[in-house]
């Protein structure tokens, strides 16, 4: 994965600060009361910081905003980044300040005076997350980033605290790399191969091939992939960090490596975006990577249905009837409503095989959720208030916006079929995200706590977001990692 910044830690040494090449960043609270390290910078620069404060330069700035002084006198550095941040800034403010530093990244080394801060590690996380770039297919040589050094009084302690946090960034980057990767590179086979390398982290990886899924009767999932030369696969990642025999949490992801729409083909304009239709599977993979990396004390199983929705003489036709693993028959009215067909079988398999304590699925499922919530907020659907609340709380704490949507029997009626147990679309365009969720609910046992996350709007975004440049965001990775920590892990 593309890890953009190398991070190191150094003990506070105010002489080394004067000699540091590249850039230096110092935090100044909006009330202008300088910390000891900021006072030292102030002295070296012959009062630059007090001049900024006294002339009101910081007055209109928010926590995390920054002013850059070029070639400051008294420092060897080429630039001094003065970042507005109070000693007791919140986690969110600290990350935003890091983001500001991530944006100014370049090939120059960056020395960050982290001392007065309560959350120096979150500054680091913000800087690292925002510095991400997807450069795999750029042939021009990219200059290696200069690296970030955090200068603090107790570097060993901060370094230890930073370990798990940087493993979170690594998982987010894995997700972003997968989601950004075009479908001719990230085939189902390549996706499965990348997951297989995670066995090195202690994850148990298993793969159901088409013949295995056929034996299990997964006619819904298989009907989506059989128009493609890329073979359908169901990949399972098991992390056993909790008590033996304790029921796992199941994370299920839609992994449509490309969605042409099938015979109900999508229009040409914007179809290239459907390379991100494996976003749910990308998030599940990133989360499992983190759990293994930080040796989470929890049992979690990740399941991703990897298929390609293609057009060919073997592709499913509108009007075809397929039989799911559960046994229910489905009339495929629209081959572009394929994600729910994949999830139907993966959800059922997850329950039959792993008897989980709960299931969270993620899917770039409907365009309708983008109409409802935009690219800012994911749609949340659930049959269980407790699991749903726990997820929403974790998402809020990580700044990953999510909003619960309604479900209900009246929406379910729209799925009635003339000739089969159900059809795969709800009729008109109304409540398209809800009818999709109702469809999934038919494949979740009544007593199984379940949350469905429709991430069609948030998985990949055309404009920069706070923590990512445009493209894949990694939305949900940090929330799910936190949910596992808060809901399952001891202490």
User: Interface with Zn ion by CB under 5 A: which residues?
Assistant: 256, 259, 277, 339
Tell me the β-bridge partners of 396: none
Which positions from 235 to 274 touch ligand BES by CB under 6 A, shown as an x/- string?
------------------------x---------------
Q: Which of 95, 340, 441, 482 is catalytic?
A: 340
CB of 277 to Zn ion, least distance (A): 4
User: By CB under 6 A, is residue 361 in contact with ligand BES?
Assistant: no
Nearest to 325 by CA among 466, 205, 220: 220
Q: Which of residues 454-473 bind ligand BES (CB under 6 A)?
A: 456
Q: How far apart are CA 40 and CA 181, in angstroms?
A: 46
474 binds, among ligand BES, Zn ion, Mn ion, none (CB under 5 to 8 A by kind): none
Per-residue CA distances from 346 to 52, 59, 378 (Å): 59, 54, 21
**Of positions 25, 48, 337, 448, contacts ligand BES by CB under 6 A:** 337
Tell me the β-bridge partners of 251: 302, 360
Q: How far apart are CA 21 and CA 300, in angstroms?
A: 45
Nearer to ligand BES, 217 or 318 (CB): 318
Per-residue CA distances from 249 to 69, 301, 357, 444 (Å): 50, 6, 6, 14
Q: What is the DSSP string of 110-122?
A: EEEE-TT-S-HHH
- Contact segment (CB under 6 A) with ligand BES among 138-146, 173-181, 198-206, 333-341 equals 333-341
User: By CB under 6 A, is residue 275 in contact with ligand BES?
Assistant: no
Query: Cβ contacts of residue 190 below 8 Å, gap of 6+?
Result: none
CB of 256 to Zn ion, least distance (A): 5
Q: How far apart are CA 251 and CA 281, in angstroms?
A: 9
Instruction: Number of residues interacting with ligand BES: please give it, by CB under 6 A.
Output: 15
**Of positions 106, 241, 318, 367, contacts ligand BES by CB under 6 A:** 367
CB of 309 to ligand BES, least distance (A): 7
User: By CB under 5 A, is residue 259 in contact with Mn ion?
Assistant: yes
CB of 277 to ligand BES, least distance (A): 4
CB of 384 to ligand BES, least distance (A): 25
For 146-179, the three-class secondary structure string (H helix, E strand, C coil) is CCEEEEECCHHHHHHHHHHHHHHHHHHHHHHHHH
Nearest to 283 by CA among 206, 362, 204, 338: 362
CB of 364 to ligand BES, least distance (A): 4
Nearer to Mn ion, 269 or 446 (CB): 269
User: By CB under 6 A, is residue 342 in contact with ligand BES?
Assistant: no
39 flagged as catalytic:
no
394 binds, among Zn ion, ligand BES, Mn ion, none (CB under 5 to 8 A by kind): none
Between vectors from CA 201 to CA 200 and to CA 202, what angle results, nearest 5°? 90
4 binds, among Mn ion, Zn ion, ligand BES, none (CB under 5 to 8 A by kind): none
Q: Which of 103, 266, 393, 404 is catalytic?
A: 266
Give the DSSP H or E segment for 344. helix 339-354
Q: Is 18 exposed, middle or buried (0-12, 13-18, 19+ CB in 10 A)?
A: middle
Nearest to 31 by CA among 63, 74, 69: 63
User: By CB under 6 A, is residue 277 in contact with ligand BES?
Assistant: yes
Structure tokens at 127: 């800087």
Nearer to Zn ion, 146 or 255 (CB): 255
Which positions from 377 to 416 touch ligand BES by CB under 6 A, shown as an x/- string?
----------------------------------------
Q: How far apart are CA 159 and CA 460, in angstroms?
A: 31
Structure tokens at 85: 């941040």
**Of positions 338, 345, 400, 412, contacts ligand BES by CB under 6 A:** 338
103 flagged as catalytic:
no
- Contact segment (CB under 5 A) with Mn ion among 76-84, 256-264, 413-421, 438-446 equals 256-264
**Of positions 331, 336, 361, 398, contacts Mn ion by CB under 5 A:** 336
Sign of the alpha-carbon torsion through 276, 459, 172, 381: negative
Which residue is closest to Zn ion by CB? 259
Instruction: Number of residues interacting with Mn ion: please give it, by CB under 5 A.
Output: 3
CB of 462 to Mn ion, least distance (A): 19
122 binds, among Mn ion, ligand BES, Zn ion, none (CB under 5 to 8 A by kind): none
368 binds, among Zn ion, ligand BES, Mn ion, none (CB under 5 to 8 A by kind): ligand BES
**Range 394-429 burial, b when 16+ CB lie within 10 A, else e:** bbeebebbbeebebeeebbebbeeeebbbbbbbeee
Nearer to Zn ion, 116 or 339 (CB): 339
By DSSP bridging, strand 402-404 and strand 321-323 are unpaired
The catalytic residues are 266, 340
Using CB under 5 A, list all residues that contact Mn ion.
259, 336, 338
Using CB under 6 A, list all residues that contact ligand BES.
259, 277, 334, 336-339, 364-368, 425, 432, 456
């Amino acid at each position: 994965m593309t890890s953009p910044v190398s991070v190191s830690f150094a003990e506070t040494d105010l002489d080394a600060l004067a000699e540091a090449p590249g850039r230096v960043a110092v935090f100044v609270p909006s009330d202008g009361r300088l910390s000891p390290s900021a006072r030292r910078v102030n002295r070296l620069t012959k009062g630059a910081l007090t001049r900024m404060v006294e002339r009101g330069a910081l007055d209109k700035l928010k926590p995390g905003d920054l002013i850059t002084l070029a070639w400051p006198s008294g420092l060897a550095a080429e630039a001094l980044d003065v970042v507005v941040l109070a000693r007791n800034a919140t986690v969110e403010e600290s990350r935003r300040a890091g983001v500001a530093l991530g944006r100014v990244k370049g090939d120059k080394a960056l020395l960050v005076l982290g001392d007065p801060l309560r959350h120096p590690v979150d500054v680091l996380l913000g800087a690292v997350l925002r510095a991400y770039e997807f450069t795999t297919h750029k042939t021009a040589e990219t200059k290696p980033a200069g690296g970030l050094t955090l200068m603090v009084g107790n570097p060993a302690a901060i370094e230890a605290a930073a370990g798990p946090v940087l493993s979170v960034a690594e998982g987010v980057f894995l997700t972003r790399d997968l989601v950004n990767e075009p479908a001719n590179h990230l085939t189902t086979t390549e996706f499965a191969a990348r997951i297989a390398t995670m066995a090195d982290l202690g994850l148990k990886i298993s793969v159901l091939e088409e013949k295995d899924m056929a034996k299990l009767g997964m006619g819904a999932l298989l009907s989506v992939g059989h128009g493609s030369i890329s073979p359908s696969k169901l990949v399972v990642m098991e992390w056993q960090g909790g008590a033996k025999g304790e029921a796992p949490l199941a994370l299920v992801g839609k992994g449509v490596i490309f969605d042409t729409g099938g015979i109900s083909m999508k229009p040409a304009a914007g179809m290239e975006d459907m390379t991100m239709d494996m976003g749910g599977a990308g998030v599940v993979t990133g989360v499992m990577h983190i759990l293994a990396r930080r040796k989470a004390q929890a049992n979690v199983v990740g399941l991703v249905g990897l298929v390609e929705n293609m057009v060919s003489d073997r592709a499913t036709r509108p009007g075809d009837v397929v039989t799911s693993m559960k046994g229910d028959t489905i009339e495929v009215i629209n081959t572009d409503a394929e994600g729910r067909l994949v999830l139907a079988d993966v959800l059922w398999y997850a329950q039959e095989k792993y008897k989980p304590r709960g299931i969270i699925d993620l899917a770039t499922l409907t365009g309708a959720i983008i109409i409802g919530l935009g690219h800012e907020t994911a749609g949340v659907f659930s049959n269980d208030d407790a699991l749903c609340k726990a997820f929403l709380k974790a998402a809020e704490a990580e700044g990953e916006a999510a909003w619960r949507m309604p479900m209900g029997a009246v929406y379910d009626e729209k799925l009635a079929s003339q000739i089969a147990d159900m059809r795969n679309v709800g009729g008109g365009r109304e409540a398209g995200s809800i009818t999709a969720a109702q469809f999934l609910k038919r494949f979740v046992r009544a007593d199984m706590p379940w949350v469905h996350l429709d991430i069609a709007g948030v998985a990949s975004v055309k404009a920069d977001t706070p923590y990512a440049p445009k493209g894949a965001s990694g939305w949900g990775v940090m929330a799910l990692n936190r949910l596992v920590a808060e809901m399952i892990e001891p202490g």
